Chains A and B, each alone.
Chain A
Amino acid sequence: MTELSAHLPQFQHGQLTENFPDNHLSNTNDSFERRRHDNSERRRNDNPDSETNGQPQNIQQVVEQDEEEDEELTLKYGAKHVIMLFVPVTLCMVVVVATIKSVSFYTRKDGQLIYTPFTEETETVGQRALNSILNAAIMISVIIVMTILLVVLYKYRCYKVIHGWLIISSLLLLFFFSFIYLGEVFKTYNVAMDYITVALMIWNFGVVGMICIHWKGPLRLQQAYLIMISALMALVFIKYLPEWTAWLILAVISVYDLVAVLCPKGPLRMLVETAQERNETLFPALIYSSTMIWLVNMAEEDPEAQQKAAKNATYDKQAPANQTRNEDAEADDGGFSQEWQQQRDNRIGPIESTPESRAAVQALPSNSQTSEDPEERGVKLGLGDFIFYSVLVGKASATASGDWNTTLACFVAILIGLCLTLLLLAIFKKALPALPISITFGLVFYFATDNLVQPFMDQLAFHQFYI
């Protein structure tokens, strides 16, 4: 990682949000100044579509300069950014697979969500297929409704509602779901624990998480929390979605993602455009960003200049400047907080139950990259993408008969899909859905490996032949 950070000063440029001045403070490099400058310019020039308020998991964006001399930088850069996304996606999948393999709670059938009311324990295959199609249809409808609701809320500036929605959902994730997770881990390893210690641990975990995600915090810590809540969410889905329903939902979600992001009347696209019209920021809290998370300021000169000045001051590491900067940021926070909240709300939505939260998460735009500066470009990926990748790999490890082979195959397929998506991003330079290619590869490889490769490898292992 040291190497990466050495290069990063030249190449990192995240979208900047004032809500997290400390994030980039903690990742400060002197070159960030340069980056920021470049970023803002870039952003203005190159990113009409840079903000996508579409489904968070699916939109990635890389803005590059068109000059040829930068393209080699861009490509190399692109390689770095691919790795910057490979690492968190891999970590999330590793956490999910490790949990699935060790904690039996998440593979035990304890009922289904109300959004998938039809059972799959039917007598005939046809009935099962019908039930799973109905389940998937209901789930997708819920998601579509949620997304449209978010777009409507955003359009009519009901920022408070969205903000409250987001806060509630992250509260639920950080406290309740992690409490359950901790409890199950303790049960698996037969660890004796008292409630007071657990309360202390969960309280600290949750509060620090809320602060890091919604306010300011070190970048690595924020990234770690985002990975953890994505993993928790994915585990909940793996537990409560029956098998065929899960695969169907994954497939349909990819299609929906494609449609919602790329069609002119898609809800996500409309969200992005609305955000752009208002020069508002997207949702920093539910996007994983490999660099500091900044609120994207679409076309405003002054706020950016302010930010730049503030940040320059910050990077100069002068205490008064820092103070000033922070104050500016605070002052701006008031103005941006709503948008920020919106984004988060759009991202998460109400999370009373898993499907809703998933819908909410899904409804949040996933930004991949708004890299204005060739030197500073961060990579962003929506948390929904993390969640669905992990659901696919987790389901593969939970239910496949080929076991680790299938898991490994799905893992490689998803990484390659991500790589291809980023390549397309580099070519087309606009918001792109991150789910379709990866999920398609993942599904193809899951079914192919489970049904075709696994018997072959089994026979080979039995005779100890090597290919």
Chain B
Amino acid sequence: MTLAVFFGCTFIAFGPALGLFLFTIARDPLRIIILIAGAFFWLVSLLLSSLIWFIAVKASDPQDEPLQKGLLIFGVMFSVLLQEAFRFLYYKLLRKAIEGLVALSEDGCSPISIQQMAYVAGVGFGLMSGAFSMINLLADSLGPGTVGIHGDSQLYFLTSAFMTMVLIFLHTFWGIIFFHGCEHRCWWEIAAVVIMHLTVSGSTFCNPLYVGSLVPSYLVMATAAAWAYMLSGGSARNLRRFLLCLQSGASPQLGS
């Protein structure tokens, strides 16, 4: 416990997101606002889904363990659907914002594109989701205690941190894919995002059998990453050129 675990888990969970924030978002005030608004939308979706779950729990028998667990699973699924619904609402809001920015600008160009907004919105959702999952754990890890002393898994903090990290990444990629789907009316992309989210959340029902939740989540993340990269204009060729440039320091001799 204590400081080593605290710092380790913090940086595992939030390190990449912090890097993304510092290098791509922190310099542009508009992006920071979009980030915070994205976090707010996620929060509202969580609030509504908690309300539904709370009502369901209050209306049911608190002694019935399987029922409570079933209600919790229902709560999770409902929350996932609500999060995606709020992602759609946020897309609508950002679309209007872009129209406003374009209307106000001198040269008819918006200072920020919908793809950038999609990325920032995804990071906003991810950061808030990760923060809400992880922060109380981190605060507890600072204090005294032994993990898993009652027979639970001893890897609780570590796996939570890794799960949080993968969720933040996933939200980022899902944001890009989702907005792209909304932009180009590819409903199957939107459906794919919803299904991926349900899959990842569903896989966590295997916990503490972590191989059942972490491995699929990372696989889904790799898929979503590749897909988002493709949708953002990337390709295998671009990737190769990027890597070659990096290695050789000279422009590659590949045709485009």
A residues with a Cβ closer than 8 A to B are 3-4, 68-69, 71-72, 74-76, 79-80, 82-83, 86, 402-405, 408-409, 412-413, 415-416, 419, 445, 448-449, 451-453, 455-457, 459-461, 463-467
Contacts and interface: CB of A to CB of B under 8 A. Distances in A.
Interface string B46-67: 1101110110010000000000
A68 B101 CA distance: 11
Interface in B115-155: 128-129, 131-133, 135-137, 139
Given A463-B72, A465-B72, A75 B104 contact: yes
Interface stretch (B32-40, B176-184, B185-193, B221-229): B32-40
Interface string B206-242: 0110000000000000000000000000000000000
Contact of B104 (A68, A82, A83): A68
A462 to B, nearest CB: 9
B104 A419 contact: no
Contacts of B200: 466
B159 interface: yes
Contacts of B208: 464
A463 B104 contact: no
A457 B54 contact: no
Interface residues of B, number: 52
Contacts of A456: 46, 49-50, 53-54, 75
A460 B136 contact: no
Given A449-B47, A453-B46, A463 B101 contact: no
A466 B163 contact: yes
A387 to B, nearest CB: 22
A416 to B, nearest CB: 5
Interface in B58-117: 69, 72-73, 75-76, 79-80, 83, 100-101, 104-106, 111
Nearest to A407: B135
Contacts of B205: 465
Nearest 3 CB-CB pairings of A with B? A72-B105, A464-B207, A79-B29
B201 A467 contact: yes
B219 to A, nearest CB: 16
A452 B29 contact: no
A438 to B, nearest CB: 12
B4 to A, nearest CB: 20
Nearest to B40: A416
B201 A466 contact: yes
Nearest to B164: A466
A89 to B, nearest CB: 12
Contacts of A466: 76, 133, 163, 167, 200-201, 204
A133 to B, nearest CB: 27
A86 B139 CA distance: 25
Contacts of A403: 136, 139
B136 A404 contact: yes
Given A75-B100, A86-B36, A416-B36, 10 more contacts: A72-B111, A79-B30, A79-B32, A83-B29, A412-B36, A456-B46, A456-B54, A461-B133, A466-B76, A467-B49
A404 B76 CA distance: 21
Contacts of B27: 3
A467 B80 contact: yes
B79 A464 contact: no
A83 B32 contact: yes
B43 interface: yes
A337 B60 CA distance: 67
Contacts of B83: 467
A465 B39 CA distance: 20
Given A75-B101, A405-B132, A82 B29 contact: yes
Contacts of A413: 40, 43
Contacts of B106: 69, 72
Contacts of B46: 453, 456, 467
Contact of A416 (B37, B54, B139): B37
A198 to B, nearest CB: 29
Contact of A412 (B50, B72, B128): B128
Contacts of A86: 32, 36
Nearest to B160: A464
B136 A457 contact: yes
A408 B132 contact: yes
Contacts of A409: 43
8 contacts: A72-B111, A75-B101, A403-B136, A412-B36, A449-B47, A451-B54, A464-B156, A464-B159
B108 to A, nearest CB: 10
B33 A79 contact: yes
Contact of B204 (A68, A74, A404, A464): A464
A467 B205 CA distance: 11
A380 B208 CA distance: 51
B36 A467 contact: no
Contacts of A467: 46, 49, 76, 79-80, 83, 129, 201
A412 B39 contact: yes
A467 B170 CA distance: 12
Contacts of B40: 412-413, 416
A71 B104 contact: yes
A402 B29 CA distance: 30
Contacts of B32: 79, 83, 86
Contacts of B139: 403-404
A370 B178 CA distance: 40
A452 B50 contact: yes
Nearest to B205: A465
A74 B104 CA distance: 9
B158 to A, nearest CB: 12
Contacts of B133: 457, 460-461, 466
